[in-house]
Chain A
């Protein structure tokens, strides 16, 4: 089976600093993968590399069958990245923001309405400018603009950040639904208990290196102890 993500000795530089220092990683289609690690370990950079937003300085990589060296634009069309920033335009309403990204992806008005409904943004909130939303509402609007694109690979960086309990449950349901529909999900979060229900495979990212843990979320083990290190 062709990997959804396949990295070999992948190095990504932020300036001159190797944020990823030779990552080997394989993720199969439909898999849910949790990136675990301390702040600054390289989780966000790894997600951005998989989204085709960071160039490979050396090594090789393929996402959804596309070469990260030559076909990053092809990768981008098929993935969704939820980062720390929302990607919203403050002067557009929620519906206009989601509608813009939907039309760019060739999605329909119905897709927009469904996404707004799923993220509890329909009605009055849909006609509210993004700049007037609370942080949690902005986060939900940002997620709605990803949902509407129906990506094959979800890359979620702290997807629960700033959300209330109900919205967190909604996000979890979205991730479960995406995985059930055959999409691949890679997420970075510190909320390990919440993500346990998704039974993800755990990849620890430490100092720009990725290691596969042998246990699911919640174990106290790490790569060194389990000998599951895949990075060079």
Chain B
């Protein structure tokens, strides 16, 4: 790829990501709806298991990531809903922005939102589930890699269902099985970081990074065809 083309892709991806993040900050849907939903799920888990504090600590990593995945469905759906609301999806096609840049920009914006959500939920887990973090480096790396994996796969599947009337209900059915490796890998890495199990956290981090890389490349290459069908 020529350097000028690469620079244009990065510039356009940044443009799309900036647009999506600005919309989310202005609309406050993330703050007023997605974050409260995620915190509510976490609290419900705490209510369901609070008679057994040890179980809460043990299962905290898994409960955390199930919550993140459920909330990510809302963020991904919203990312495509704003483009479909008044025909902006057509304008994006007509804009001349390379589909690779659109994919990268949308995935980046979703990933940023997920990282913010993870920080919020992480604080919630520490407070509600009484867990202690022993490996901050692993925690941060796993959180970033998992966010990237969910965002890239989510952007891909979000575009796949964007043109369908049943997209809100179809997206979870398609996406959740696909991101199951992220759930497993991130949970194992967090178990290690929280010191609740003897998992090889850094090895699981490799799985998360590999998943994000595969879906990043696959998504970038196939996004143009998906936009045509949406």
Chain B: number of interface residues, binned into ranges: 20 to 34
Q: Give CA–CA (A145, B90) in the complex, Å.
A: 13
Most chain B Cβ neighbours within 10 Å, of A76, A90, A91, A92: A91
Is B95 within 8 A of A101, CB to CB?
A: yes
Is B96 within 8 A of A92, CB to CB?
A: no
Q: Give residues of chain B (1-26) contacting chain A, Cβ–Cβ below 8 Å.
A: 12, 15, 19, 22-23, 26
Chain A: number of interface residues, binned into ranges: 20 to 34
Is A76 within 8 A of B86, CB to CB?
A: no
Report the minimum CB–CB distance from A98 to chain B (whole Å).
11
Report the minimum CB–CB distance from B4 to chain A (whole Å).
12
Asked if A86 meets B23 with Cβ closer than 8 Å, knowing A104-B15, A104-B97, the reply is no
Is A129 within 8 A of B86, CB to CB?
A: no
Q: Give CA–CA (A83, B91) in the complex, Å.
A: 10
Is B91 within 8 A of A101, CB to CB?
A: yes
* Residue ID in chain B nearest A130 by CB atoms: B86
Is A87 within 8 A of B23, CB to CB?
A: no
Is B85 within 8 A of A96, CB to CB?
A: no
Q: Give residues of chain A (112-134) contacting chain B, Cβ–Cβ below 8 Å.
A: 129
Is A105 within 8 A of B27, CB to CB?
A: no
Is B94 within 8 A of A51, CB to CB?
A: yes
Q: Give residues of chain B (25-67) contacting chain A, Cβ–Cβ below 8 Å.
A: 26-27
Is B94 within 8 A of A76, CB to CB?
A: yes
Partner of A145, one of B19, B91, B224, B228: B91
Contacting residues, chain B, for A104 (C-beta < 8 A): 12, 15, 95-97
Q: Does A85 contact B (CB under 8 A)?
A: yes
Is B96 within 8 A of A85, CB to CB?
A: no
Contacting residues, chain A, for B180 (C-beta < 8 A): none
Is B87 within 8 A of A83, CB to CB?
A: yes
Report the minimum CB–CB distance from B100 to chain A (whole Å).
12
Most chain A Cβ neighbours within 10 Å, of B88, B94, B97: B94
Q: Give CA–CA (A53, B15) in the complex, Å.
A: 22
Identify whether the interface residues of B are mostly helix, strand, loop, or mixed: helix
Is A85 within 8 A of B87, CB to CB?
A: yes
Is B15 within 8 A of A91, CB to CB?
A: no
Is A53 within 8 A of B90, CB to CB?
A: yes
Asked if A92 meets B97 with Cβ closer than 8 Å, knowing A86-B87, A100-B15, A145-B91, the reply is no
* Residue ID in chain A nearest B87 by CB atoms: A85
Is B97 within 8 A of A88, CB to CB?
A: no
Partner of A103, one of B15, B27, B224: B15
Q: Give CA–CA (A167, B59) in the complex, Å.
A: 62
Contact flags B65-87 to A (C-beta < 8 A → 1, else 0): 00000000000000000100111
Q: Does B93 contact A (CB under 8 A)?
A: yes
Partner of A86, one of B22, B27, B86, B93: B86
* Residue ID in chain B nearest A103 by CB atoms: B15
Contacting residues, chain B, for A101 (C-beta < 8 A): 91, 95
* Residue ID in chain A nearest B8 by CB atoms: A106
Report the minimum CB–CB distance from A193 to chain B (whole Å).
28
Report the minimum CB–CB distance from A99 to chain B (whole Å).
10
Report the minimum CB–CB distance from B126 to chain A (whole Å).
33
Contact flags B86-130 to A (C-beta < 8 A → 1, else 0): 111011011111000000000000000000000000000000000
Asked if A89 meets B23 with Cβ closer than 8 Å, knowing A103-B15, A104-B12, the reply is yes
Contacting residues, chain B, for A96 (C-beta < 8 A): 22
Q: Does A10 contact B (CB under 8 A)?
A: no
Is B93 within 8 A of A87, CB to CB?
A: no
Q: Does A25 contact B (CB under 8 A)?
A: no
Listed by A's residue number, 10 A-B pairs whose Cβ atoms lie within 8 Å are: A53-B93, A76-B95, A80-B94, A81-B90, A86-B87, A88-B88, A90-B85, A91-B23, A92-B22, A104-B96
Closest 7 A/B residue pairs (Cβ): A85-B87, A87-B91, A77-B96, A91-B26, A104-B95, A91-B23, A87-B87
Known: A85-B90, A87-B88, A89-B88. 16 other contacts (CB 8 A): A51-B94, A52-B93, A53-B90, A76-B95, A76-B96, A81-B94, A84-B87, A86-B86, A89-B85, A89-B86, A90-B86, A92-B23, A96-B22, A100-B19, A129-B26, A145-B91
